[in-house]
């Protein structure tokens, strides 16, 4: 190779200089609205990457839609730029990734699925003074720490439990059921634990006529539920109340089938696993009559119809669900706050978020409105049921697409599979 | 104490133990011959699962037959992995051998995520939902078939190592690499084939697990850990040890929590041993064995 001497060096520097002058420099002079960076932190790899990826898609689609509509108008049409972070479903990684996106200039963080991850991000955001909006993370205690920079559009676990009891009251009244003996199962991560425990605690506090005869916990990402289902069978409950995730939900249904566990119903107090298209695709008739108490999409909403159509078109075989829906809504709420704040300073954004009253018909529940803790007071759930291998909102009655079926007319193994 | 429940748990644990044995056999074989621990073992099992699943999608052949395809694909994968990466690190210090294989584990996991997507898949297959009942006892058919096939394959591998020329070369290379080299064995070739057989074992196990467990790219890591425990428990490099260890861990994890809860209740403690902590049982057994028999259950004197 030719050695570089003074002349060639000069030649190259001149060339580089000219190129910079022609291409790079003038962009500084052009009056372009600056980009506003926000970050999406989701568990896109690791044990819950299926949901993490679906949520990142929700976040990204919302950003793209806002930019397509002209960006943040109060900032001269500034476009949003979404920085992507991967929490790998691990707390320490979640913290590092949050640190990274803040250092890269994110003015507001959105995410993540998984309450444990959300807790570490919320703590960091409090230290660094960066607004953080949780799109899906339900554990009560995150917003009970008195954080000033943390907000949540998703319902809390107490809200889940209250609505669950509300729907159960109606079902029990309409079917003259005076008492139910139930088994509660949940995964062993922060959300699973809090969701299972809050449901049981609320039942006890309200002296609700559901007796919990067993509470079984198993690790997140478990690959064999035969022992757990054998225990359920030995307890012989009327109704199973599972808090699950996509993998163990399928394992559970198959094991219940194989071990011939007799149940009147399977009603989740609120968890993933029971509503994803893959659940219905793989379980077919076995998925029928499963109920789930969920912050679901509003099937009658105009916004829902538009967003869902675009989502299904972009990702064939998928539909907008709890997670992707709230991921989309979360970004809209941040954009709305930026619009009203007319600033990218943390305190201005927080002030704007506090005053949020964001009307939406994407998800069930009313306009997004935060209380003093930062929780969305109008977040709500619906009871959905799989009927004829299609997902229907069954309660509350005013939003119902179909009448719920209780008890299950056929046990799992009587369905001709 | 509910004896029927315990018996049910013991049976399903025992059947799964058969598959664990086959997974651990691959790891033990590779370690016994090359003194390298395949940290990508669980992830390679997941590839075995996906291969069987893809074959099922394309041809409709049940995973209980197409595990042969998984074995074949994983053999080739293992062969080339040995030739390109593992062979270069054989003489490295142990800490340095770990890194390339942990790296390969990440490559396998995330490439599976790119190719097959992140969602859990439970394909419909013929035996996925069938079970037999004997009295009060329920025996899961796919688990029983997986168990039976795993045992047959384990014996076939043992027989291969004892009786065939290639098997003898593998054992010679394991005993004394230089000696085998001096008597004219193509040691590199033998090592690559041995690595291939090890990964074919785990690929087979993956294929057999398709009707039992939902597939997802990330499920491999716990299997690496569990086969690691089994191999240490049975004795590093001992193939029969891997088999015995598989059964011990399978049964222990299945009945452990329930049995301990019963013991707690029996001595008047109002405590439940949570199902979440069932790995504590296997690690506890591992520690006890390490204290009483550091070379493992069936390990030789060398350890």
Supply the range of the domain harboring residue A85. 36-155+299-354
C-alpha Rg value of chain A to the nearest Å: 24
Contacts of B147 in chain A (CB under 8 A): none
**Which residue in B113, B120, B128 is closest to A254 by CB distance?**
B128
Whether A227 and B4 lie within 8 Å, measured CB to CB: no
Whether B258 and A226 lie within 8 Å, measured CB to CB: no
Q: Residue A152 in contact with residue A121, Cβ under 8 Å?
A: no
Give per-residue pLDDT as tens, B31-68: 989 989 999 999 999 999 999 999 999 998 999 999 99
Whether A47 and B218 lie within 8 Å, measured CB to CB: yes
Give per-residue pLDDT as tens, B81-133: 999 999 999 888 888 889 999 999 999 999 999 999 888 998 888 788 888 88
Residue A403's contacts (CB-CB under 8 Å, 6 or more residues apart) are A394
A268 and A242 co-located in one domain: yes
pTM of the model: 0.85
**Which residue in A224, A230, A417 is closest to B5 by CB distance?**
A230
Q: Tell me the three state secondary structure of residue A376.
A: strand
Q: Which CATH number fits domain B3-119+136-292: 1.10.260, 1.10.3470, 1.10.1060, 3.30.70?
A: 1.10.3470
Helices B3-34 and B220-234: crossing angle in degrees, nearest 10, is 80
| A99 belongs to a structural domain | yes
A265 and A345 co-located in one domain: no
Output the pLDDT for position A395.
86
Mean pLDDT of chain A: 90
Give per-residue pLDDT as tens, B63-77: 999 999 999 999 999
A165 and A285 co-located in one domain: yes
Output the pLDDT for position A334.
96
Helices A322-341 and A302-314: crossing angle in degrees, nearest 10, is 120
Whether B222 and A247 lie within 8 Å, measured CB to CB: no
- d(C-alpha A412, C-alpha A284), whole Å: 11
- d(C-alpha B285, C-alpha A348), whole Å: 57
A147 and A171 co-located in one domain: no
Q: Does A226 touch chain B (CB under 8 A)?
A: yes
| A368 belongs to a structural domain | no
A342 and A253 co-located in one domain: no
Q: Among A228, A233, A237, A227, which Cα is nearest to A267's? A: A237
| A7 belongs to a structural domain | no
Give per-residue pLDDT as tens, A357-389: 999 999 998 899 999 999 999 999 999 999 999
Optimal mutation site among A52, A218, A224, A260, interface B, most CBs of chain B within 10 A: A224
Output the pLDDT for position B237.
81
Output the pLDDT for position A47.
85
CA nearest to A255 within chain B: B129
A81 and A194 co-located in one domain: no
| A2 belongs to a structural domain | no
Q: Residue ranges of the domains in chain B?
A: 3-119+136-292
A248 and A316 co-located in one domain: no
- d(C-alpha B29, C-alpha B38), whole Å: 10
H or E element in which residue A235 lies: helix A226-235
A409 and A269 co-located in one domain: yes
Q: Is the pLDDT of residue A417 over 80?
A: no
Banded pLDDT at A1 (limits 50, 70, 90): very low
What whole-number percentage of chain B has pLDDT above 70? 98
| CATH of residue A240 | 3.40.50.2300
The Cβ-side half-sphere exposure at B272, using a 13 Å CA radius, reads 9
Return the structure tokens found at A280.
């219905």
Output the pLDDT for position A3.
55
Q: Is the pLDDT of residue B287 over 80?
A: yes
| A103 belongs to a structural domain | yes
**Which residue in B140, B217, B257 is closest to A226 by CB distance?**
B140
Whether B121 and A246 lie within 8 Å, measured CB to CB: no
Whether A221 and B219 lie within 8 Å, measured CB to CB: yes
CA nearest to A187 within chain B: B276
Give per-residue pLDDT as tens, B194-245: 999 999 999 999 999 999 989 999 999 889 999 999 999 998 888 889 999 9
Place of tokens 């168990």: B147
| A14 belongs to a structural domain | no
Whether A221 and B222 lie within 8 Å, measured CB to CB: yes
H or E element in which residue A392 lies: strand A390-395
Q: In the 8-state DSSP scheme, what is residue A409?
A: S
Output the pLDDT for position B257.
87
Q: Tell me how many degrees the CA angle B33-B217-B117 measures, rounded to the nearest 5.
A: 140
Residue A32's contacts (CB-CB under 8 Å, 6 or more residues apart) are none
Give per-residue pLDDT as tens, A68-98: 999 999 999 999 999 999 999 999 999 999 9
- What secondary structure, in 3-state letters, does A71-119 show? CEHHHCCECEEEEEEECCCCHHHHHHHHHHHHHCCCCEEEECCCHHHHH
Average pLDDT in the B182-191 region? Answer: 91
**Which residue in A217, A228, A250 is closest to B214 by CB distance?**
A250
End-to-end CA gap in chain B: 40
Give per-residue pLDDT as tens, A99-143: 999 999 999 999 999 999 999 999 999 999 999 999 998 889 899
Q: Tell me the three state secondary structure of residue A191.
A: helix
Whether B9 and A227 lie within 8 Å, measured CB to CB: yes
Banded pLDDT at B272 (limits 50, 70, 90): confident
Output the pLDDT for position A136.
92
A281 and A401 co-located in one domain: yes
ipTM of predicted complex: 0.84
Q: Which residue blocks in chain B are alpha helix, DSSP H?
A: 3-34, 41-59, 63-84, 94-116, 141-163, 165-175, 177-182, 187-209, 220-234, 239-266, 278-292
Whether A259 and B138 lie within 8 Å, measured CB to CB: yes
Output the pLDDT for position A16.
55
Q: Tell me the three state secondary structure of residue A387.
A: strand
Average pLDDT in the A185-201 region? Answer: 92
Contacts of A417 in chain B (CB under 8 A): 129
Average pLDDT in the A381-405 region? Answer: 91
A183 and A284 co-located in one domain: yes
Q: Does A369 touch chain B (CB under 8 A)?
A: no
A203 and A122 co-located in one domain: no
Give per-residue pLDDT as tens, A43-58: 999 888 999 999 999 9
How many domains are there within chain A? Answer: 2
Q: Residue B62 in contact with residue B210, Cβ under 8 Å?
A: no
Output the pLDDT for position A26.
47
Contacts of B109 in chain A (CB under 8 A): 45
**Which residue in A46, A230, A417 is closest to B129 by CB distance?**
A417
The Cβ-side half-sphere exposure at A56, using a 13 Å CA radius, reads 20
Q: How many CB pairs under 8 A join A and B?
A: 104
Q: Is the pLDDT of residue A35 over 50?
A: yes
Output the pLDDT for position A9.
61
- d(C-alpha B19, C-alpha B201), whole Å: 10
**Which residue in A47, A227, A278 is closest to B121 by CB distance?**
A278
- d(C-alpha A324, C-alpha B159), whole Å: 53
Q: What residues of chain A, 153 to 192, have a C-beta less than 8 Å from chain B?
A: 188
Q: Which residues of B touch A (CB under 8 A)?
A: 2, 4-5, 8-9, 12-13, 16, 109-110, 113, 117-124, 128-131, 133, 138, 140, 143, 212-214, 216-219, 222, 253-255, 257-258, 274-276, 278
Q: How far is A219 from chain B (nearest CA, A)?
A: 5
CA nearest to A219 within chain B: B276
Q: In the 8-state DSSP scheme, what is residue B215?
A: B
Q: Does A10 touch chain B (CB under 8 A)?
A: no
Optimal mutation site among A46, A47, A50, interface B, most CBs of chain B within 10 A: A50
Whether A53 and B118 lie within 8 Å, measured CB to CB: yes
- d(C-alpha B303, C-alpha B295), whole Å: 4
Q: Is the pLDDT of residue A144 over 60?
A: yes
Whether B118 and A216 lie within 8 Å, measured CB to CB: no
A395 and A258 co-located in one domain: yes
CA nearest to B9 within chain A: A227
Average pLDDT in the A174-197 region? Answer: 93
Q: Residue A31 in contact with residue B204, Cβ under 8 Å?
A: no
Give the dihedral sign, CA B265/B269/B270/B272.
Answer: negative
Output the pLDDT for position A300.
86
Whether B275 and A216 lie within 8 Å, measured CB to CB: yes
């Amino acid at each position: 190779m030719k050695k570089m001497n003074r002349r060639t060096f000069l030649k190259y520097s001149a060339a580089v200089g000219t190129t910079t002058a022609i291409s790079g420099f003038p962009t500084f002079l052009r009056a372009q609205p600056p980009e506003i960076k926000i970050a999406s932190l989701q568990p896109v790899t690791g044990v819950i990457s299926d949901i993490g990826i679906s949520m990142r898609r929700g976040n990204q689609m919302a950003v793209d839609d806002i930019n397509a509509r002209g960006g943040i108008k109060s900032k001269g049409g500034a476009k949003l730029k979404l920085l992507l972070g991967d929490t790998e479903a691990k707390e320490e990684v979640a913290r590092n990734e949050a640190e990274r996106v803040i250092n890269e200039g994110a003015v507001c963080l959105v995410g993540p699925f998984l309450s444990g991850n959300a807790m570490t991000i919320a703590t960091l955001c409090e230290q660094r003074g960066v607004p953080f909006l949780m799109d899906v993370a339900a554990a009560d205690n995150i917003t009970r720490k008195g954080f000033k920079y943390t907000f949540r559009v998703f319902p809390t676990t107490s809200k889940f439990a209250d609505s669950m009891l509300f729907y159960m009251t109606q079902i029990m009244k309409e079917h003259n059921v005076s008492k139910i003996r139930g088994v509660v199962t949940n995964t062993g991560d922060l959300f699973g634990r809090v969701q299972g425990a809050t449901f049981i605690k609320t039942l006890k506090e309200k002296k609700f006529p559901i007796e919990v005869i067993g509470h079984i916990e198993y690790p997140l990402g478990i690959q064999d539920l035969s022992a757990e289902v054998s225990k359920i069978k030995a307890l012989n409950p009327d109704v199973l109340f599972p808090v699950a995730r996509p993998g163990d939900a399928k394992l559970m249904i198959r094991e219940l089938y194989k071990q011939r566990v007799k149940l009147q119903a399977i009603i989740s107090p609120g968890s993933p696993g029971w509503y994803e298209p893959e659940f219905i695709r793989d379980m077919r008739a076995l998925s029928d009559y499963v109920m789930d108490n969920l912050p679901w999409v509003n099937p009658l909403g105009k916004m829902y119809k538009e967003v869902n159509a675009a989502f299904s078109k972009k990702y064939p075989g998928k539909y907008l669900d709890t997670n992707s829906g709230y991921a989309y809504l979360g970004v809209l709420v941040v954009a709305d706050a930026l619009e009203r704040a007319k600033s990218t300073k943390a305190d201005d954004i927080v002030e704007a978020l506090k005053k949020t009253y964001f009307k939406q018909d994407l998800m069930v529940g009313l306009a997004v409105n935060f209380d003093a803790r930062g929780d969305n007071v109008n977040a709500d759930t619906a009871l959905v049921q799989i009927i004829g291998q299609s997902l229907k909102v069954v309660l509350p009655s005013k939003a119902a697409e179909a009448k719920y079926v209780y008890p299950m007319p056929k046990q799992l193994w009587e369905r001709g599979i | 104490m509910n004896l029927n429940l315990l018996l049910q748990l013991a049976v399903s644990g025992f059947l799964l133990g058969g598959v664990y044995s086959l997974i651990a056999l691959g790891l033990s074989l590779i370690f016994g011959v090359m003194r390298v621990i395949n940290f990508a073992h669980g992830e390679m099992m997941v590839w075995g699962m996906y291969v069987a699943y893809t074959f099922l999608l394309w041809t409709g052949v049940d995973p209980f037959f197409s595990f042969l395809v998984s074995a074949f694909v994983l053999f080739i994968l293992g062969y080339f992995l040995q030739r390109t990466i593992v062979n270069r690190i054989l003489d490295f210090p142990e800490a340095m051998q770990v890194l390339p294989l942990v790296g390969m584990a990440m490559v396998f996991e995330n490439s599976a995520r790119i190719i097959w997507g992140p969602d859990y898949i439970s394909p419909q297959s013929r035996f996925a939902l069938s079970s037999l009942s004997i009295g009060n006892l329920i025996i899961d058919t796919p688990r029983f078939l997986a168990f039976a096939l795993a045992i047959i394959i384990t014996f076939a591998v043992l027989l291969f190592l004892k009786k065939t020329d290639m098997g003898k070369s593998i054992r010679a290379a394991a005993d004394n690499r230089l000696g085998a080299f001096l008597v004219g064995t193509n040691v590199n070739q033998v090592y690559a084939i041995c690595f291939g057989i090890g990964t074919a074992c785990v690929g087979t196990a993956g294929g057999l697990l398709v009707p039992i467990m939902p597939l997802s790219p990330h499920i491999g890591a716990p299997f690496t850990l569990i086969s690691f425990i089994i191999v240490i428990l049975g004795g590093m490099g001992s193939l029969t040890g891997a088999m015995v260890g598989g059964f011990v861990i399978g049964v222990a994890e299945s009945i452990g929590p329930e049995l301990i809860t019963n013991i707690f209740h029996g001595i008047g403690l109002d405590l439940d041993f949570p199902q979440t902590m069932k790995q504590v049982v296997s690690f506890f057994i591992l520690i006890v064995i390490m204290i009483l028999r550091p070379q493992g259950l069936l390990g030789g004197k060398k350890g």
